Amino acid sequence: MNITIYNVNNSVNEETREVYNEIGLCGGEVRLSDNFASAEPTHKLIIKHEAVREIFDFIEWEIGQRNDIRVEQGGILLGKRYYDCENNIHFVVVSKAITANDAIGSTGHLDITHECWSKMHEKKDEYNARSGENAIIAGWFHTHPNALSCFMSGTDRYTQNLFFNDDNTYAIVINPQRHLLKAYRSKECFDTQAFLIVNSQKEIRG
């Protein structure tokens, strides 16, 4: 597995003090990360429905098994970091996924070039200007397609350590063909409790 990322230029932000309200944050139909049970409950990743939809549409999650050979895909996660000091819970709420549409992928390689990073940063700035959210890059996602399992390879760990190494910064590895999904955090790539809101309360109610 070989992933190259150039020039992230992401500033680290401080966590905002906030009470962790799982029911309020995770309203709707939720898909948990496959390594959820093995993760410590002190760190949580919540990906809102809009961001989940952007990721799943990009990687064609709904199609599942297919005969053609797929290449690796990826992108970044925009959100905010929070800390519930009374319950000692660090959490990130992801509101936007930006896909690396111009990355160069193969079955075992993802090359996100300078130009691709520049376009994703432009989209991040546009999103913040439009939403007023001031979201930061809180992590990244990439696929392990075809028959691969979901894990952090040596190159994935190098990438995480180099660019996404803060304690409350995350990585998601997804196999869209096998419908596998695992989440990790920090430079140590600890298993992480991730909540992906696949359907909002509004959609469930119709």
Is residue 37 assigned to a domain?
yes
User: Would residue 12 count as lying in a domain?
Assistant: no
pTM value? 0.91
* Domain presence at residue 145: yes
Nearest Cα residue to 188 out of 173, 37, 164, 175 = 164
The answer as to whether 192 is a domain residue is yes
What is the number of domains present in the chain?
Answer: 1
Would residue 62 count as lying in a domain?
yes
Residue span of the structural domain in which 61 resides: 2-7+18-205
pLDDT of residue 166: 86
Say what the pLDDT of residue 14 is: 79
Q: What is the pLDDT of residue 9?
A: 46
Is position 110 within any domain?
Answer: yes
User: Within a domain: residue 167?
Assistant: yes
Q: Looking at the domain assignment, is residue 121 inside a domain?
A: yes
pLDDT at 68: 87
- What tens-digit pLDDT sequence spans the chain (206 residues)? 445 555 454 444 578 999 999 999 999 999 999 999 999 999 999 999 999 999 999 999 999 888 888 999 999 999 999 999 999 999 999 999 999 999 999 888 888 888 998 999 999 999 999 999 999 999 999 999 999 999 999 989 998 998 888 889 999 999 999 999 999 999 999 999 999 999 986 555 55
CATH number of the domain at 46, please.
Answer: 3.40.140.10
